[in-house]
């Protein structure tokens, strides 16, 4: 094997190690402080979710190193949004309580449980759990769509899901997620829920990949392979909350 090819293989193997949480190197923490809101919604309908891209079908190539890094920069650092701080945002506590309020139907509760299970299988260091009472870190508020303008601070018209989080130095403090009980069908409601749950764990950007749960206008039945790789990378302990684009790029290039 020539030297150039060897470096490429070694680089890809290092990325896989990073994604699966066994790297031990540290990333410098940003000096940025204060709170920032993270808002987003899902609107419109899209094509059925392609099952081959979820990794359930054989013969599909996994995302490349460059695809994973590029998508991470867009979703986790929200580079396309000039108003964003462009730093790593994530939960830093081992257990994140999720409380349901409002009037969700049984299908929505089941979708929430499945979404939490998927996320828990990917984050490793952080565990989400549904609680009945007390003060949660994430509150899932199911309300009629027509109530959105009255109940959501700073609501933007025509949004069918909304997440607002408080963040201090890259560490998520608490999030409220508003989800519609009317105005959308069950399939789209579950897509919106999964989309907003991804927001609630720190993925604040919008994907350009139509199969991604974080692309605007798609109807996906789960997190795509690339979504999953990005979540694993976000919750690798080596990537500290508040890390900037420069420190993330430096770590990934090392």
pTM of the predicted structure, to 2 decimals: 0.76
Half-sphere exposure of 149 (CA within 13 A, CB side): 3
- CATH assignment, 3-253: 3.40.390.10
Segments of the chain with pLDDT less than 50: 1-59
Please tell me the predicted confidence (pLDDT) of residue 60. 58
Cα angle at 235 between 39 and 85, to 5 degrees?
40
Please tell me the predicted confidence (pLDDT) of residue 31. 28
Indicate the domain borders of the chain: 3-253
Question: Which of the 8 DSSP states describes residue 235?
Answer: T
């Amino acid at each position: 094997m020539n030297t150039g090819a060897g470096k490429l293989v070694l680089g890809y193997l290092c990325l896989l190690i990073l994604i699966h949480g066994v790297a031990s190197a540290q990333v410098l923490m940003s000096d940025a402080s204060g709170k920032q809101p993270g808002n987003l919604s899902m609107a419109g309908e899209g094509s059925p979710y392609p099952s081959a891209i979820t990794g359930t079908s054989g013969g599909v190539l996994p995302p490349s190193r460059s695809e994973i890094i590029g998508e991470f920069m867009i979703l986790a650092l929200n580079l396309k949004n000039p108003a964003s701080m462009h730093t790593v945002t994530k939960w830093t506590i081992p257990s994140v309580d999720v409380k349901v309020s409002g009037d969700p139907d049984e299908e929505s509760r089941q979708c929430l449980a499945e979404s939490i299970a998927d996320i828990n299988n990917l984050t490793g260091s952080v565990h989400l759990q549904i609680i009945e009472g007390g003060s949660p870190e994430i509150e899932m508020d199911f309300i009629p769509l027509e109530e959105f303008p009255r109940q959501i601070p700073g609501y933007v018209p025509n949004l069918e899901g909304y997440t607002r989080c408080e963040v201090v130095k890259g560490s998520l403090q608490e999030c409220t997620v508003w989800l519609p009980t009317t105005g959308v069908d069950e399939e789209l409601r579950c897509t919106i829920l999964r989309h907003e749950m991804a927001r609630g764990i720190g993925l604040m950007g919008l994907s350009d990949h139509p199969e991604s749960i974080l692309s605007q206008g798609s109807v996906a039945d789960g997190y795509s392979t690339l979504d999953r790789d990005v979540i694993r990378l976000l919750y690798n302990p080596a990537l500290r909350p508040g890390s900037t684009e420069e420190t993330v790029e430096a770590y990934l290039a090392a």
